[in-house]
Amino acid sequence: MQYVGSAFRRTGTLIAAILITVTALNGQRPASATYDSERQIRLEGSITRIDWVNPRAFVFIDVRDASGTVVNWAIDIGNPIELERRQWKRSSARIGDVVVVQATPARGPARQALARSVTLKASRKPVFTPPVARAATARRAPTPRWPDGQVRLGPLPGQKGYWGPASAKALVESSAASVRMNDDGLLADLSDADRVAPFQPWSKAVYLHRQRTLLKDDPIARCMPPGGPRQFMSLNGFQLVEQRELGRILVLLGGGNRNWRVIYTDGRPQGQAAEVVLTFYGTSVGRWEKDTLVVDSIGYNERFWFSNGGLPHTEALHLTERFSRPDYDTLKYEVTVDDPRTYTRPWKGGWDVQWVPGEEIEEYFCEENAEATFVR
Amino acid sequence: MRSAAHLLIVALVVFSARAPLAQEGHPLTGTWSGDWGVGAAKRTHITMVMTWDGTSISGTINPGPDAIAIPAIALDVTTWTIRFEADAKDGRIAVEGRIDDIASTHRTIAGTWRQGPAKGDFKLTRD
């Protein structure tokens, strides 16, 4: 067995970026903070342990380095639910199997890496191949409606499905659609920060600090709920369950800790921000404007980042979200951010969310596992 | 009763062992506590509350009957330094400090604290 730590600084970047696309929100810590996408390594060794746990499954292998010393590496193979969807099981490989791993190493000295491929050496068969992002569906079925003509936000009776991948990586002001960033929301060029949002000086400084520190302090890494627009950009998806007889819509989230949020549609007035208990999901009231659900939310605490990339906010945050469904498979999401303590003016952004037909929302829980053991 | 106390102690130890929380919201908003003094021997406790209203930062030293109002606090976000002045019974207060560990909920501010003729140092930690 040997350890070849070659660095393909440029050629590996694109592959790593694709890989990070499918892993960014499955893990606890943003992939950019954990793994160094500028480097690629090849490892070869025997499997010593398989941790098949949420949110990240790990294969541990003994690798002999150039000096002959055997060191144990933790190989991050992705979310086990996604792996099982692609027919991989814990038993797909066994303790003692010799594997060849192409991977993105962790930052710093930790012996941890994010797998790009894992191959059984003897048979050259791939195993635990990381999941790939779902391709956009080609069909364009008509918008489903209730008998009274109102747009449905869930599946038709007898069908199932949920809202899955978002078309955007992070919330950006709609007038700056071409800001380059990775899938964690890390800007390719920090000088683009002014195009992301109309920051006040302090919030721009905080945003840049979060960017420069590779989002390592992201509250989602500590299993904090993804409040605000971020709840609609999780790979784990969400469901909008309309309880019309109760005058409310439940947002059931696949990410975070499978949290839920209530949007009241019973005509109640919005509360006053100073009087409501501040929470991760705020207090939301919604109303239909023709085919668009308009949701007004206040009462947010400051303990979360409301988008990938680390956008700051204060308790003054006021969101107006607009949901429309132009066809069966597309949810258009637009949000107006109004936080005069953080931004110089209200601004808006949004994205499309893709319907995942025929499947239930994923069983996902954010909890500590091997990752926390290896990278701090 | 004793077992309950033990449970409380264990809970406090476990809670305090958790990873520090990250900074959220405006970096100065909140309650800060610490002390100031000339040298290590004589320190004076300080509780300070700072508020950001979207256009300016203001604060209060030792909220309560002897509160001292701070009408304006200047924050330089390029260096994370703050500066403010306030009127106390025993003289004018003039403070300059720097925020450390900006990413932490329990970040600190340390620097120089002048009060009347005295010049000392201070350190505040966000609660």
At A15 the pLDDT is 36
**Band of residue A130 on the pLDDT scale cut at 50, 70, 90:** low
Residue B19 scores a pLDDT above 50: no
Record: contact A206-B102, CB cut-off 8 A: yes
Stretch A170-188: mean pLDDT, rounded?
89
Cβ contacts of A209 on chain B, cutoff 8 Å: 102-103
Q: Whose CA is closest to A351, among A365, A366, A368, A330?
A: A330
Stretch A335-353: mean pLDDT, rounded?
97
Give SS3 for A74.
strand
Residue A28 scores a pLDDT above 60: no
Which architecture does CATH list for A3-133? Beta Barrel (2.40)
Give SS3 for A227.
coil
At A91 the pLDDT is 87
- Asked if residue A347 lies in contact with residue A336, where contact means CB atoms within 8 angstroms, the answer is yes
Taking only the tens place, the pLDDT of each residue in A78-105 is 878 778 877 888 889 989 899 999 999 9
Q: How far is A30 from chain B (nearest CA, A)?
A: 14
Residues 6+ apart with CB under 8 A from A103: A40, A41, A42, A43, A75, A113, A114, A115, A116
Highest mean pLDDT among A20-34, A261-275, A339-353, B99-113: A339-353
d(CA A338, CA A313): 10
At B14 the pLDDT is 41
**Mean predicted lDDT score pLDDT of chain A:** 85
- Asked if residue A339 lies in contact with residue A298, where contact means CB atoms within 8 angstroms, the answer is no
Taking only the tens place, the pLDDT of each residue in A144-172 is 999 999 999 999 999 999 999 899 989 99
Looking at chain B, which residue has its C-alpha nearest residue A210?
B103
- Asked if residue A326 lies in contact with residue A140, where contact means CB atoms within 8 angstroms, the answer is no
Using a CB–CB cut-off of 8 Å, the residues of A that contact B are 200-206, 209-210, 213, 216-219, 222, 302-305, 312-316, 340-342
Half-sphere exposure of A95 (CA within 13 A, CB side): 4
Residue A314 scores a pLDDT above 70: yes
**Domain boundary assignment for chain A:** 3-133, 161-357
At A119 the pLDDT is 93
At B4 the pLDDT is 53
Taking only the tens place, the pLDDT of each residue in A285-309 is 999 999 999 999 999 999 999 999 9
At A11 the pLDDT is 37
Residue identified by tokens 């995942």 is A356
Q: Read off the pTM.
A: 0.79
At A24 the pLDDT is 37
At B23 the pLDDT is 63
At A6 the pLDDT is 42
Cβ contacts of B27 on chain A, cutoff 8 Å: 202, 206
Q: How far is B89 from chain A (nearest CA, A)?
A: 33
At A158 the pLDDT is 95
* Amino acid identity at A188: A
Residue A10 scores a pLDDT above 90: no
Tell whether domain B24-126 is in CATH 3.40.50.2300. no
**Band of residue A248 on the pLDDT scale cut at 50, 70, 90:** very high
DSSP string, A243-284: EGGGTEEEEEESSTTT-EEEEE-S-PPP--TTTSPPBSS-EE
**Band of residue A208 on the pLDDT scale cut at 50, 70, 90:** very high
**Band of residue A57 on the pLDDT scale cut at 50, 70, 90:** confident
Residue B77 scores a pLDDT above 70: yes
Residues 6+ apart with CB under 8 A from B125: B32, B33, B34, B106, B107, B108
Taking only the tens place, the pLDDT of each residue in A349-363 is 999 999 999 988 876
Stretch A54-67: mean pLDDT, rounded?
86
Q: What's the angle, vertex CA A316, arms to CA A315 and CA A318, rounded to 5?
A: 115
d(CA B117, CA A216): 44
Residue A201 scores a pLDDT above 90: yes
Is B54 part of the contact surface with chain A (CB cutoff 8 Å)? yes
Cβ contacts of B26 on chain A, cutoff 8 Å: 202-203, 314, 341-342
**Band of residue A136 on the pLDDT scale cut at 50, 70, 90:** low
Stretch B70-94: mean pLDDT, rounded?
96
Q: Whose CA is closest to A103, among A59, A14, A39, A50?
A: A39
Q: What percent of chain B has pLDDT over 90?
A: 70
Cβ contacts of A342 on chain B, cutoff 8 Å: 26
Taking only the tens place, the pLDDT of each residue in B38-59 is 999 999 999 999 999 999 999 9
Stretch A54-70: mean pLDDT, rounded?
87
Is B24 part of the contact surface with chain A (CB cutoff 8 Å)? yes
d(CA A104, CA A116): 7
